[in-house]
Amino acid sequence: MSPQTFTLIFVAALLLSTGLRLWLDQRHLRHVRAHRDQVPADFFGRIELADHRKAADYTAAKVRLGFVETLVDALVLLLFTLGGVLALVDGGLREVFGAGHVQGLALFAAVGAIGFVIGLPTSLYRSFVIEERFGFNKLTWTLWLADLAKGAALAVVIGGPLLYAVLWLMEAMGRNWWLYVWLLWLATNLLLLFLYPTVIAPLFNKFTPLEDAALKRRIEALLERCGFASSGLFVMDGSKRSAHGNAYFTGFGQAKRIVFFDTLLEKLAPQEIEAVLAHELGHFRHKHVVKRIALMGVMSLAFLWLLGQLIDRPWFFAGLGVGAGSTAMGLMLFSMVLPVFLFPLAPLTSALSRRHEYEADAYAAQQTAAADLIAALVKLYRDNAATLTPDPLHSLFHDSHPPASQRIARLHNA
C-alpha cells in the first residue's frame, strides 16, 4: 500500500467517524428536546415534570459540550498526524534524549501533557459549570488539584515502568513481540484488579465499614442466598465529589469488596438498596466481569497482532505524517488512530453490555422483589437526571445500559 492511499483511508475513516458522532448527537439532542415537556407514560406519577425537564436540560448541556469535544478531538488528531506535530515533537525529543526507550517514554509523556492541556477547558467546564449548574458538583479546586497530582503520580509509578517494559519487549522479542506484550498486559490488568480495592481506590476516597446494623443484616442475608463471599461492606464518600449515587463490587477472590456511595444510602430505602445490590450480584453470578475481561483479552491480542503487522510498514508511518518510524511512534500512532476505525462497531459492544444488564436485572428480580428494583431505578434516574427519552439510535452507539423504559418493562414482566 502506498502512503497516499493509507492517508486517504485514514481521512475517510476520520470524516465518517466524526460525522457519525455529530449526527448521532444531533439526533439525540432533538429527540430529548422534543419530549422535554411530557413525562413518558411509564413514569407518569413517579417522575415529576420538573425533574423530567431537568434531565432533558442536563442531557442537552452535555451533548452540546460533546459537539465541541468531538470537533476538537478530530482537529487535534489531524494536527498531530498529518499536521506534523507528532513528527516535530519526536524530532525535538531525539535531539535531547537520542534514540531509545527513554526517548519513547518522553514522547508519550509529552503527547499526554499536550492532550491534557487541550482537553482541560472542556473538562473543567463539565465539572465546574454543567455539573455545578444542575446541582451535582461537590468538587473543590483543592480536591481537583489533589486528584490531578495523585493521578499523575500513579501514571509515573505504574504507567512509566509498564510502558518501558512494553517498548523493551517490542524490540527484544522478535516478530512475535506482540504475544509477549499481550501476556504482560494481561498480567498487569489482573494485578491491578486485585490491588485496586485496597491500594489504589483509597488514595482518592475514604472507605468505612457499613454501620447500619439492620441494613447490614439484610445485605448479609442476600449475600448468603446468592453464595457471594465478600471481604466487607463499605461506604465510600462519593458525596465529596458529586451528588450522583451508585453501588458496585470490585476485586477478585478474597479481595472482593461491596461498596456503596454514601449518596446512594441517603436516597434509597433499605429494600431498594438490597435490590440494587442484587443487580450487581447478578453480574457476579452470570460471570459478566470474567466474560468482559476475556473479551478484552481477545480483542487486545488481535489489536497487538495487527500492530505487529503494521509497525514494519513504512506506509503506515508516512501515511500518518511521520517520515521516520520507531517502536514508540508506532505504538503511539496505533493507539491514536485505532478508535477512529472502531467507533462504527460500537453497537456490537453496546448490545453485549445491555444483554448483561438485562440478565442482572432478571437475577435481582429472582432474589428480591422486582418492584423494589423498579422503585430504586426510578429514584436513580430522577436523582441523577438521566434522560428517560434517549434517541434510540444514539443509545445503541453510546449507552451500555438499556433505556429506562425497556428495563422497567422487562422487570414488570419478570
Please say if the pLDDT value at position 229 is more than 90: no
Weakest mean pLDDT among 25-29, 90-94, 96-100, 303-307 = 96-100
Burial class from Cβ neighbours inside 10 Å (0-12, 13-18, 19+) for residue 12 reads exposed
Residue 251 has pLDDT above 70, yes or no: no
CA atoms within 13 A on the CB side of 95: 5
d(C-alpha 110, C-alpha 90), whole Å: 9
Q: What is the pLDDT of residue 56?
A: 95
Query: Partners of 233 in the beta sheet?
Result: 258
Residue 254 has pLDDT above 70, yes or no: no
pLDDT higher than threshold 70 for residue 252:
no
Q: Please identify every residue annotated as catalytic.
A: 280, 361
AA letter at 315? W
Q: Which DSSP symbol is given to 196?
A: I
Q: How distant is the alpha carbon of residue 87 from its chain centre?
A: 30
CA distance linking residue 342 with residue 340, whole number of Å: 6
Q: Which residues of 296-320 are buried (b: 16+ CB within 10 A; e: fewer)?
A: eeeebbebbeebbebbeeeebbbbb
Q: Which of 6-15, 253-262, 345-354 has the lowest mean pLDDT?
A: 253-262
Residue 233: per-residue pLDDT: 84
Burial of 250: CB neighbours in 10 Å, binned 0-12, 13-18, 19+: middle
CB-based contacts of 35-42 (< 8 A; 24+ apart in sequence): 35/389, 39/388, 40/388, 40/389, 40/405, 42/404, 42/405, 42/408, 42/409
Supply the pLDDT for residue 255.
62
How confident is the model over 166-199, as pLDDT tens digits?
A: 999 998 998 899 999 999 999 998 888 888 888 8
Beta-bridge partner residues of 247: 260
Q: Give the whole-number percent of the chain exceeding pLDDT 90.
A: 62
Prediction pTM value? 0.88
What's the chain's average pLDDT?
90
User: Position of cell 473543567?
Assistant: 124
**pLDDT tens, residue by residue, 343-382:** 999 999 999 999 999 999 999 999 999 999 999 999 989 9
Q: State the average pLDDT over residues 75-103.
A: 90
